[in-house]
Structures are given as structure tokens and as C-alpha cells.
Amino acid sequence: MFKVPEEARITKEVNKYVGTDQSAGNNGFFAFMFQGYQVRIIASDGMGWEHCSVSINRNRTPSWEIMCSVKDLFWDAEDTVIQFHPKKSDYVNNHPHVLHLWRPTDKEIELPDSTLVGIEEQNIN
């Protein structure tokens, strides 16, 4: 289930981002610290999708660990979310260091069999 961390919601205008309050629901600008980085998220839940746009306070792309922390903060542990690599003709890039997490609201995401990823008994987590 998509949820927003109210304690991380930005309620006042910051740079080009307009602050929101709880009346905006799952939509707004959020920020939190993770491993020395300020993680910035624009969250939304419209047009059949839950979405987080993720950047950090450095001129670099968020790491896997940062993206996992955003996933854990905005979705339940058993929710599957995805990052897309669209076809070139549909590609949009408004910022070179922003990544996106997506989850459709009207269907489950079909996943390949886990054996195509690796051997489950060797899970390092």
C-alpha cells in the first residue's frame, strides 16, 4: 500500500517546490536524510500509478540503497515497485540524476520466476 511519511513532508516552499499539507494526500514534496545524503522525493498517485521521483543533494544518481530506503518508506514490504527503461522514442529526461519508482494501482506486477535471478538459498540479506 502506498503511503507517505508525513514527518518528511515539506510544508513550505523550498526552491521551486511548493509545500503541501496532509490535504494533498499522497502527493507532495518530501525529504529525509539517509547515509549523509538529503534524499528528495516528489510523490504522486494519479492516472492509475503510484510514483516517487527521487534525487539526492549531490550531483549524482541515487544508489540502490537509497532507492530501497525510498521504497521501504513509501510502500509496504510485500509491495513490488519497478523502475522503467522505456524505448528510446518514449524517453523523457528532465534531470540527469533523478530515478523513478512506479507501481500500478489497478493490477499486480507480473514478475519472472525467482530462479531466473539466482539461487534463493544463497540470498545474502
Quote the cell numbers at residue 110: 507480473
Whole-angstrom distance, CA of residue 35 vs CA of residue 66:
8
Q: Can you list the domains of the chain with their CATH numbers?
A: 6-107 (3.40.1720)
CA-based nearest residue to 37, from 70, 62, 12: 62
pLDDT in tens, the chain (125 residues): 999 999 999 999 877 777 999 999 999 999 999 999 999 999 999 999 999 999 998 899 999 999 999 999 999 999 999 999 999 999 999 999 999 999 999 999 999 998 998 887 766 66
- pTM listed for this prediction: 0.89
